[in-house]
Amino acid sequence: MNHPRIGFIGLGNVGASLAGNLLRHGVDLTVRDLDERRVADFVARGAKRADSPKAIAEAVDIIITCLPSPSATAAVMESEDGILAGLGAGKVWLEMSTTDADEVKRLAPLVEAKGATAMDCPVSGGCHRAATGNISIFAGGTRAAFERVLPTLKMLGCQILHTGALGSASVLKVMTNYLCTVHLVALTEALTTMKVVGMDMNTVYEAIRISSGNSFVHETESQVILNGSRDISFTMDLVIKDVGLFDRLAHELGVPVELSPLVLGIFRDGARRYGPRELSDNIIRRLEEACGVKVLGEGFPAQMVDDEPEAPGYEVVPRRGATTP
């Protein structure tokens, strides 16, 4: 499949950025989204539109879904005019949503019954990196399937990790989103405490950045927190979904986790106070309101923009062999 036709369903914050990368690479792209304005924007830039998931699956070689929840994916896949109704032999379904691994594994046999191939390929790194092609992609499925779609994945992201069997990528993705959320909650507590003690918040930001307390989350989300926009293009309901998937997995496995229930409770409280579609970084409001402060700095961006040049896509190979003492 040297020049596959690609279909993309789900033009949200991440999906639109990923699909935009395909357009930049000159891919024969067909799109679908419930928001007609998003579809019209892509059509104006050279994409085709499809009237149903079935139609898009019939028209392309690789069909990508990037949707907000497992139930949304199930509806797009299994409805009367869904993807399964349009799949045929030799086609590939790439699930790029952050979803339940068990749901991917439930749908995979239905895909394979059509003679098609299923893979879960969630992304990590934020919308700003998705827009430039500098995002990371986890890919779960057979090695043969991975190598088949690797050229397409390299157009979407720069670091591609084959994670093993189908569903493994989705497990790793909810784990990384859980870690991201733990970092975010810890940062909101640290930033608010420093504000209350009277520290200059720009100095606080740099102290964290150059220290052992630094993280990717700090270098991105702390900036939009200190700007006041709190806009990292992610919402509290999505945090609850992702951390909830991790928390459920841990409890099903009998792992006595302690942080994930606490973090989940914090965001459930935030959603009750401010609404489920409130920006996730506004979870700091709970602390600001309790302390009577506003945690702001100066000169920070309202939204993150990836200013690094687009890096060529490549496969990340896990380390193997003896550990050096």
User: How does pLDDT run across 235-278, given as a tens digit for each residue?
Assistant: 999 999 999 999 999 999 999 999 999 999 999 999 999 999 99
Where do the H-state alpha helices sit in the chain? 13-24, 36-44, 53-59, 70-78, 83-86, 101-112, 127-132, 143-156, 168-197, 201-209, 216-217, 223-227, 236-252, 259-274, 285-291
Report d(CA 251, CA 246) in Å as an integer. 9
132-136, 140-144, 287-291: segment of lowest average pLDDT:
132-136
**pLDDT of 140-190, one tens digit each?**
999 999 999 999 999 999 999 999 999 999 999 999 999 999 999 999 999
Tokens of 54: 């079935």
pLDDT band at residue 85 under the 50/70/90 scheme: very high
- Within 13 Å, how many C-alpha atoms sit on residue 146's CB side? 21
- Check residue 125 and report its DSSP letter: S
Which pLDDT tens digit goes with each residue over 193-225?
Answer: 999 999 999 999 999 999 999 999 999 999 999
Among the listed residues 173, 195, 241, 294, the single catalytic one is 173
Among residues 107, 80, 103, the alpha carbon closest in space to that of 93 is found at 107
What's the pLDDT at 306?
A: 85
Whether 173 sits among the annotated catalytic residues: the reply is yes
Q: Using alpha carbons, select from 241, 216, 205 the residue that is nearest to residue 304.
A: 216
Q: What angle do CA 155, 160, 161 make, to 5 degrees?
A: 160
In DSSP terms, 30 is beta-bridged to 7, 48
pLDDT band for 2, please (50, 70, 90 cuts): low
pLDDT above 70 covers a percentage of the chain that reads 98
Q: Which residues contact 253 (CB under 8 A, 6 or more apart)?
A: none
List pLDDT tens digits, range 90-110: 999 999 999 999 999 999 999
What is the average per-residue pLDDT within 26-46? 96
Contact call for residues 170 and 242 (beta carbons, < 8 A)? no
Torsion of CA 56, 49, 16, 83, to 10 degrees: -20
CB within 8 Å of 319: residues ≥ 6 apart? none
Say what the pLDDT of residue 325 is.
Answer: 63
For the cut 50, the answer to whether the pLDDT of residue 1 exceeds it is no
**Residue 107, φ and ψ in degrees, nearest 5:** -80, -25
Q: What is the pLDDT of residue 323?
A: 67
CA dihedral 174, 211, 308, 11 (to 10 degrees): 30
Closest CA to 290 of 185, 189, 155, 141: 189
**Per-residue confidence (pLDDT) for residue 310, from 0 to 100:** 84
DSSP state of 113: T
Report the share of the chain in percent with pLDDT over 90: 92
